Amino acid sequence: MEIACNRMDRGFKRYQEEFETKTLEILRSGYYILGKEVSAFESEFASFLGIPYCIGVGSGLSALQIAFHLLGIGKGDEVIVPANTYIASVLGVTLNDATPIFVEPDKFYNIDAGKIEEKISERTRAILVVHLYGQAANMTEIMNIARKHNLRVVEDCAQSHGASYEGQQTGTFGDFGCFSFYPTKNLGAFGDGGALVTADAKLADAVRVYRNYGSRKKYYNEMMGVNSRLDELQAGLLRVRLAHLDELNAERKRMALYYQEHIINSKFILPEVRTGAEAVWHQYIVRVKGRDEIQQKLQRKGIGTMVHYPIPPHLSEALRYLNLQKGSYPITECYADEVLSLPFYNGMLEEELQYVADVINSFS
């Protein structure tokens, strides 16, 4: 059997008619930027999350960059960030010339809240939380630390659409929640897209103006802005997908449970869910020693896998100026050597899940 690590076509085909109808409707409308689809999506996504404001932007990275910029975080400021994350999370900080201060992950792959306070200095302005792989970080403890030290909180929810902690949606705890709608995300568009959500009316207003050249009224520019807009087509298609997000996430949860119950091989460390967290399983991550060899063995059996992520941000070429050596974040580096993402996508068949589990169980 041939099983790709990810397949976008399955998720599309299930709602093909709805997507195609919506596409034609928008193409024929003659309105393509900042129209009624974007405002409708913004209010529908805000109400899905249970937060007052959502503002569509061009991408997840753009959302992060805008969040730190509008919180006034820049040169000379430090931001606490998870060491174990995708580099885009950290770029939201570095693009604003602020300095990322890394903190090791807990066993749920998210920032270890117990290790944050020792990294806070008089320059620290904010904590960046990433709800990695679809599971909420320990928000109760993180928000307590932020309040105690008067720090801003930005949540990177690019992998956690619909995930919650103690019944509250990710993205609604901090000053800003930043979402990506890159096609492979749980709530994916058919191109690039992103959004910021916030409960603060002033911040929401600032994002609305900033994303559109700093202009509220055409050709009147009240601040320096950027061009970072969600377009009508993506917004319309996201509305279709959002209407099905709960069922798509429920399917992922069933698939994860299948792997949890059927993979029985002591060499493989399966993911755990934090008490109080409701995961949406953006990826299904296992850990295994000799990962690269296992990955090749799986490939020979027709099973595609990926590594999220092979090089931690602190060791990437791009952040070499921070001068962080190999060995400085050993837990993160160990995860980078051992994590493996198994095939996992909406529309994956039970026989495919079973085949993956059987092959893994056959490894001694």
What lies within 8 Å, CB to CB, of 219 at 6+ separation is none
User: If binding is defined by CB under 6 A, does position 196 make contact with ligand PLP?
Assistant: no
Applying CB under 6 A, what is the total number of residues that bind ligand PLP? 15
Residue among 320, 308, 318, 324 at smallest CA distance from 102: 324
Q: Does 158 bind ligand PLP (CB under 6 A)?
A: yes
Closest CA to 156 of 59, 38, 77: 59
Query: Which residue from 215, 146, 149 is spatially nearest to 176, judged by alpha carbons?
Result: 146
> E strand or H helix at 69, and its extent?
helix 60-70
Given a contact cutoff of 8 angstroms between Cβ atoms, the answer to whether 127 and 115 are in contact is no
Least Å distance, CB 100 to ligand PLP, is 13
Q: Which of residues 51-70 bind ligand PLP (CB under 6 A)?
A: 59-61
Tell me if 170 contacts ligand PLP by CB under 6 A.
no
Shortest Å, Cβ 29 to ligand PLP: 25
Find where tokens 């202009």 sit.
Answer: 215
Say if residues 156 and 34 touch (Cβ distance below 8 Å).
Answer: no
Question: Does 194 participate in binding ligand PLP (rule CB under 6 A)?
Answer: yes
Q: Do 241 and 41 meet the contact criterion of CB atoms below 8 Å apart? A: no
Nearer to ligand PLP, 67 or 73 (CB): 67
| Closer CB to ligand PLP, 177 or 353, in the complex | 177
> Closer to ligand PLP at the Cβ: 131 or 353?
131
Candidate list 108, 182, 268, 344; residue touching ligand PLP; CB under 6 A: 182
**Interatomic CA distance for residues 262 and 352, integer angstroms:** 12
Q: Please tell me the distance from the alpha carbon of residue 353 to that of residue 322, in angstroms, as a whole number.
A: 42
- List helix spans (H) across 218-307: 232-242, 245-262, 291-300
Residue nearest to ligand PLP (CB): 60
Minimum CB distance to ligand PLP, residue 223 (Å): 23
180 binding ligand PLP? (CB under 6 A): yes
Token digits of residue 284: 């299904």
336 binds ligand PLP (CB under 6 A): no
Report the site for ligand PLP in 111-130 (rule: CB under 6 A). 130
Task: Tell me the residue type at 337.
Answer: D
Which residue's CB is nearer to ligand PLP, number 59 or number 341? 59
Report how far residue 63's alpha carbon sits from residue 42's, in angstroms, rounded to the nearest whole number: 14
Q: Does 86 bind ligand PLP (CB under 6 A)?
A: yes
In terms of CB distance, is 95 or 269 closer to ligand PLP? 95
Decide: is 159 part of the binding site for ligand PLP (CB under 6 A): yes
Cα separation, 141 vs 79, whole angstroms: 17
Least distance (Å) between residue 362 CB and ligand PLP: 32
Q: Which of 55, 71, 83, 88 binds ligand PLP (CB under 6 A)?
A: 88
The smaller minimum CB distance to ligand PLP, of residues 110 and 305, is found at 110
Find out whether 134 and 346 touch, Cβ atoms under 8 Å: no
89 binds ligand PLP (CB under 6 A): yes
**Sites of contact with ligand PLP (CB under 6 A):** 59-61, 85-86, 88-89, 130, 156, 158-159, 180, 182, 192, 194
